[in-house]
Amino acid sequence: MDKQNQQNEGTYDEVDRYIALKLGEDEQYSNPLDFWKKKDNQLGFPSLFQLAKRYFAIPCSSSAVERQFSAA
């Protein structure tokens, strides 16, 4: 098995473990940022943590949409 396949398998395993946590049933993690702030979760799910950092770093803004509609 080459390195890419091993990496993909590890990522699939990581996703499976994350889904198995059933976080929707735990009110402690109703805010996803609280889950990712814990070091154990960052280390336990390194690929998902990197994805979460990129996803949650996107600033909330509607200015781009407003500019698109006001340009007409």
Classify 48 as helix, strand or coil: helix
Mean pLDDT of 24-42: 84
Q: Taking the CB of residue 41, how many other CB atoms lie within 10 A of it?
A: 19
Residue with tokens 């499976």: 16
For 38-72, the pLDDT digits (tens) are 999 999 999 999 999 998 887 776 666 666 676 55
pLDDT above 60 for 1: no
User: For 60, what's the count of Cα atoms within 13 Å in the CB-facing half-sphere?
Assistant: 1
Domain boundaries, the chain: 3-70
Q: What's the pTM?
A: 0.66
pLDDT of residue 6: 67
